[in-house]
Amino acid sequence: MVATRHFMYGKLHRVTVTEANLDYVGSITIDPLLLEAGGIYPHTRVDVVNITSGERIQTYVIEGPKGSGAVCLNGAAAHQFKAGDLAIVMGYEQVDVSELAGRKSRAVLVDGNNGIVEVREYQTPGLDKLGQPGNNRLGECYPQRQVGVGAV
C-alpha cells in the first residue's frame, strides 16, 4: 500500500466575498480567472476559511462569470459568509509521499476587487531539507489592501 498525504496545491488568498446566496443549492461560485491562476478545477472540493469571522467550511467549486471577480458562497454556506468578508479558498490533492518533495503550491494574491495582483509559487522541501533558512516563512505577510475600486 502506498502512503499518501493531502497537499495544498493552490489557494486564493484574501479574496473578498462578493455575495452569499441562501437560495442556491450549494457550493462556492468563483471567477474562472481566479480558478485558473490557482489551478483549481470546477466541481472539486475546497476548504474555505472566513478570515473575518473565523468560520471554516468544505464545499465544491462552480464556475462564475469570467472577469467578474465573483466569489459567492451558496446554500447553507451563505449562513457563515456575507458580502465583504475576506476569505481564503484552498484546493487539495492526494499525493504519493514520494512525490511531495519538490512539488509546487500556488498562492494567488488579489486586490480589493478580486483582480489578480500576483501569483506566488512555493516548492515543498524534502524532510532532509527542513530547517534551512530559505524554508522559514515565519512572519511572511501578504500585502495589505483596501476593499473597493482601484484598491491594492
The confidence band for 144, taking pLDDT boundaries of 50, 70 and 90, is: low
The confidence band for 151, taking pLDDT boundaries of 50, 70 and 90, is: very low
Q: Annotated catalytic residue: which of 24, 27, 122, 142? A: 27
53 is an active site residue: no
When pLDDT is averaged across residues 115-144 and rounded to a whole number, the result is 87
Q: Annotated catalytic residue: which of 60, 92, 105, 142? A: 60
Q: Distance between CA 50 and CA 65 in Å, rounded?
A: 22
User: pLDDT digit string (tens) for 44-75?
Assistant: 999 999 999 999 999 999 999 999 999 999 99
27 is an active site residue: yes
CATH of 4-135, one of 3.40.47.10, 3.40.50.720, 3.40.190.10, 2.40.40.20: 2.40.40.20
User: pLDDT digit string (tens) for 6-56?
Assistant: 999 999 999 999 999 999 877 999 999 999 999 999 999 999 999 999 999
The ranges assigned to domains in the chain are 4-135
